Amino acid sequence: MSQGAVEIKDLVKTYVDDRGRPTFTAVKKINLHIDNGEFMVLVGPSGCGKTTTLRMVAGLEKITSGTIAIGDRVVNDLEPKDRGIAMVFQNYALYPHMTIFNNMAFGLQLAKKKKDFISEIVGRTAKALGLDKMLDRKPQALSGGQRQRVALGRAIVRNPIVFLFDEPLSNLDAKMRVQMRSEISRLHAELGSTMIYVTHDQVEAMTMGDRICVMRDGLIMQVADPLTLYRQPQNLFVAGFIGSPPMNLLKGKVEQRPGGLFFCEKAENNALSFPLEGRLQPLASKYVGKEVVFGIRPEHISNEPKAGSSTPVTLNVDIAEPMGSESLVYLKAGSGNVIARIQGEHVFHMGEPVAVQLDLDKVSLFDPETEEVIS
Ligand SMILES: Nc1ncnc2c1ncn2[C@@H]1O[C@H](COP(=O)(O)OP(=O)(O)O)[C@@H](O)[C@H]1O
Ligand SMILES: [Mg+2]
């Protein structure tokens, strides 16, 4: 296996109390391969086990069972400092009484590197990060964004085989977050190192990851590149997690009608029905009379006819959020609203009927029992 690849096999973490009794299993036998030089994002809601997984890779948390290998070495029993990793935390974890220079140099000083070498590499890295004018300052004299850059610089100077990031941008304001996001992506392109990046933010995951590992409750729900996750979610969880606003997920049944197969929403009033034409027909045919979940993304509902679209369905506007070049239109359905992202500078009024068409190529059907996609 090449030097910077990370192989996680049957990894389990059960936390124990101070008497060694198990309290909580945070990671439930996960398997994940990360290629040398890959930018892998671990994403999922708070508490799903992302930090626990990353800390086991870093060597900061004991592994309950399974193995982690970096390159050719199983690192289970290696000290963090011997693993060739560097970690960047959410809270920066800078030493408040040390100058920025010393904060960045600290790891190298501990490793007994030569003074000249340290000055050179810290100076060069600080310059690249725009910190060269503030090397004499203490952390409290820096803005949040600058502190986060110091934390990044401290990791870079150690020249690790694998960078580990745990929500490094969540303490920054929105604008700074976007800027740092592209800086980290550029850093990855320049260094070509393996990076494992933890976030709960799906936009961050989608914009930064070569591949994304979606986690829930200590399990991996899907691992794929961003477009595959977006186009082919394997289960309801991923479908609802990736995309903003998320995919509309309607509960209902497949019915055989004179005109063919239809998806019929389960609702007392205003139940929607959509024809299951084209590629959906063979998928739905196994579910005639049975329950399915019909998934359609807001951007695949349109008020203009397009090749491959369904027969138009007229729905009434509940509310609309105009955003300039597009509007998010909440359309009344039987069991709530269906959100459509409609392109163009339209004005929509409450109660107004809109004839919409669904891009049937983009619909996903799910089995409500297994929660898996029907394929
Ligand atoms: N020391 C601990 N003892 C018991 N449970 C813990 C401990 N640390 C974390 N947990 C639990 O493990 C789960 C996963 O935590 P964590 O890996 O921090 O999640 P994430 O980073 O995805 O938000 C959470 O439910 C958390 O409460
Ligand atoms: Mg965490």
48 lines ligand 1 (CB under 6 A): yes
Mean pLDDT over each residue of the chain, to the nearest integer: 93
Question: What does the domain layout of the chain look like in residue ranges?
Answer: 6-241, 248-366
CA of 287 to the centre of ligand 1 (A): 39
- Residue 173: what pLDDT? 85
- Closest-CA residue, ligand 1 atom 21, reads 51
Q: Is the pLDDT of residue 1 over 70?
A: no
- Residue 89: what pLDDT? 87
Which ligand 1 atom sits nearest the alpha carbon of residue 52? 17
Which ligand 1 atom sits nearest the alpha carbon of residue 218? 14
Percent of the chain residues past pLDDT 90, beyond the cut: 79
Rounded Cα distance between 62 and 14, Å, is 9
- Residue 179: what pLDDT? 87
Residue 247, CA atoms < 13 Å, CB-side half-sphere: 26
CA of 207 to the centre of ligand 1 (A): 26
Q: Are 238 and 221 in contact (CB under 8 A)?
A: yes
How buried is residue 15: exposed, middle or buried, by Cβ count under 10 Å (0-12/13-18/19+)?
middle
Q: Is the pLDDT of residue 117 over 90?
A: yes
Closest-CA residue to 68 (of 42, 41, 35, 31)? 31
Range 31-56 average pLDDT: 98
Q: Is the pLDDT of residue 259 over 80?
A: yes
CA of 164 to the centre of ligand 1 (A): 18
What beta strand segments (E) does the chain contain?
Answer: 6-16, 22-34, 39-43, 65-70, 73-74, 85-88, 162-166, 194-199, 211-216, 219-224, 248-257, 260-265, 273-275, 291-296, 301-302, 313-322, 326-333, 336-343, 353-358, 364-366
214 lines ligand 1 (CB under 6 A): no
Q: Is the pLDDT of residue 367 over 80?
A: yes
- Residue 361: what pLDDT? 86
Closest-CA residue to 176 (of 139, 143, 133)? 143
Between the alpha carbon of residue 130 and those of residues 123, 134, 150, 247, the distances in Å are 10, 9, 10, 40
Range 264-281 average pLDDT: 87
Q: Is the pLDDT of residue 360 over 80?
A: yes
Q: Is the pLDDT of residue 67 over 90?
A: yes
CA of 50 to the centre of ligand 2 (A): 6
CATH of 6-241, one of 3.40.50.300, 3.50.50.60, 2.40.30.10, 3.80.10.10: 3.40.50.300
- Residue 332: what pLDDT? 92
- Residue 201: what pLDDT? 94
- Closest-CA residue, ligand 1 atom 12, reads 26
Which ligand 1 atom sits nearest the alpha carbon of residue 55? 17
Ion ligand 2 contact residues with beta carbon within 5 A:
51
13 lines ligand 1 (CB under 6 A): no
- Per mean pLDDT, which range of 207-216, 258-267, 277-286, 299-308 is the poorest? 299-308
- Residue 123: what pLDDT? 94
49 lines ligand 1 (CB under 6 A): yes
SS3 169: coil
188 lines ligand 1 (CB under 6 A): no
Q: Is the pLDDT of residue 265 over 70?
A: yes
Q: Is the pLDDT of residue 370 over 70?
A: yes
52 lines ligand 1 (CB under 6 A): yes
59 lines ligand 1 (CB under 6 A): no
Q: At 95, is the pLDDT very low, low, confident or very high (cuts 50, 70, 90)?
A: very high
- Residue 237: what pLDDT? 98
The model's pLDDT over 176-195, given as tens digits with 9 standing for 90+, comes to 889 889 989 999 999 999 99
Fold matches, 6-241 and 248-366: no
Pocket test for ligand 1, best of 13, 16, 27, 52 (most atoms within 8 A of CB): 52
Residue type, 166: D
Range 95-108 average pLDDT: 94
90 lines ligand 1 (CB under 6 A): no
Query: Does domain 248-366 fall into CATH 3.40.50.10800?
Result: no
Rounded Cα distance between 363 and 308, Å, is 11
The model's pLDDT over 123-178, given as tens digits with 9 standing for 90+, comes to 999 998 889 999 999 999 999 889 999 999 999 999 999 999 999 998 888 888 89
CA of 68 to the centre of ligand 1 (A): 19
- Closest-CA residue, ligand 1 atom 25, reads 47
- pTM comes to 0.93
Percent of the chain residues past pLDDT 70, beyond the cut: 99
Q: Which ligand is nearest to the CA of 44?
A: 1
